Amino acid sequence: MGVPRVVIGVDSSTQSTKALAVDLDTGQVLGQGRAAHTVSTGPGRESDPEEWWQALEQAVAATGFADRAEAVSVAGQQHGLVTLDAAGRPVRPALLWNDVRSAPQAAGLVAELGADRWAQRAGTVPTAAFTAAKWAWLQANEPQAAARTTAVRLPHDYLTERLTGAAVTDRGDASGTGWWTPEGYDTELLDRIALDTSRLPVVVPSGQAAGRTLAGGPLRPGVPVATGTGDNMAAALGLGLEVGTPVLSLGTSGTVYAVTAGRPQDRSGTVCGFADALDGWLPLACTLNCTLAVDRFATLLGRDRQAVEPGGSAVVLPYLDGERTPNLPGASGLVHGLRHDTTPGQLLQAAYDGAAYSLLSALDGVLKAGGAAADESRPLLLIGGGARGRAWQQTVLRLSGRPVRVPAAQELVALGAAAQAASLLTGERADAVARRWRTADGPLLEPVAKDTQTLDRIGDTLRHAGGLLDPDRLG
């Protein structure tokens, strides 16, 4: 056999950066690296973009293939606001997607323009997560920092620019800002937040290179760099998703999405009308509280995270960091329905149920928003760190009533970025590369009867909780 051709895909996520060196022909992971970065624990959620760059350098070097890579691509956490000064240095730490301090600004933007108009123009009704709301927050709370900002970037844009010197982005990640439309940047929306296009990167069509690596980075100079994309769009590429196949991702946050041919426009704000990284759409619903919230309950109960027990009447709404779906940014957690005979294992299972409930409730809306059929016989792809846990698998099976497939491939965001890099060399679409690599293969879990009793109990609790959940909004 000859020497394999190697591409590198990078996933710059909320808490760490992962890099995979992948065989272009087979999809085999030849080497991998990981490096952590810090997230603040104060009133918001912030990170220093310089740490992301250092982590990227370390993770790429750790793959062992930095000197042989023929192409690279970077995927990053969506929505984060990176502000740069005239010298290209961060003005302040980046505001991350899960920083909910911008909830008042999001509400103000929606009130000013109207949910229908936002859905029509941007495809999404903005929440605190969206970059537009974060920029509005910065102007209101740190006007001097906003005034010093000459360039606004998303996390993956910042890293791609560090690699290439090119100020570019892609349609997928740009669609999560709140100021991008299929026709390009919406100057009316930008005017409302006093941001002009001169401070934004150029949107490069899929399949084109962002540029080539500069000297002094983690790769040798001249290596082609793909445009990159947001983490959810990259995971869709990494799975080689075909239209209408639903995905549930269990990570720090929880997401449910599908690639669709139709453009989503959900005025309720539950479904984000994202573009994918190619020429389709990626309607998506997201929760802030997923695996970490359940793990926190396991710690409080002094139990292993898998030590769940069936039965009981308890309901847990684990909104420990506010919530995005439902849109309750000021929410706290709620435990309801405790009885004398409620066991710790039943309470832990209720935390799993509460975390999964919002995502599964939004699944039909995700498919409907993109014009795809809600076919419950179609397997749900279960991915993310939680997908390997039996308790998560059984919870999703029981509450969805669907067959569930658990792809064997891991680090799908980095794999999707690697597929983008490979497409620069082969001319294939990135999703076709991933299908050739058979990244979605994995065991199929047969469906079980849907547990409508638990779903109804959680739904009733949520409807009647009112100001107990989010007194600033509902009380």
Rounded CA Rg of the chain:
21
CA angle, residues 226, 411, 133, in degrees to nearest 5: 65
**CA angle, residues 406, 407, 410, in degrees to nearest 5:** 120
Residue 415: which region, alpha, beta or left (left: phi > 0; alpha: psi -120 to 50)? Answer: alpha
Q: What is the dihedral of CA 278, 373, 265, 399, to 10 degrees?
A: -100
To the query of whether residue 231 is one of the catalytic residues in this protein, the response is yes
- Report d(CA 48, CA 44) in Å as an integer: 13
Other CB atoms within a 10 A radius of the CB of residue 389 amount to 16
For the record, the structure tokens of 196 come out as: 């002009």
Q: Which amino acid is at 144?
A: Q
Sign of CA dihedral 392, 315, 369, 466: negative
Q: How far is CA 383 from CA 179, 396, 412, in A?
A: 29, 12, 8
Residues 6+ apart with CB under 8 A from 260: 243, 244, 280, 281, 282, 283, 367, 369, 370, 371, 372
Contact yes or no for 94/80 (Cβ under 8 A) = yes
**Which residue, 467, 420, 434, is CA-closest to 206?**
420
Both structure tokens of 360: 């599964």
Listed in sequence order, the residues at least 6 apart from 99 whose beta carbon sits closer than 8 Å to its beta carbon are 44, 45, 46, 128, 134
Q: Which of 173, 231, 321, 470 is catalytic?
A: 231
Comparing CA positions, the residue from 459, 347, 443 lying closest to residue 399 is 459
Residue whose C-alpha is closest to residue 255's, from 143, 121, 97 = 97
Written as one letter, the residue type at 128 is A
Q: Which residues contact 50 (CB under 8 A, 6 or more apart)?
A: 90
The residues annotated as belonging to the active site are 231
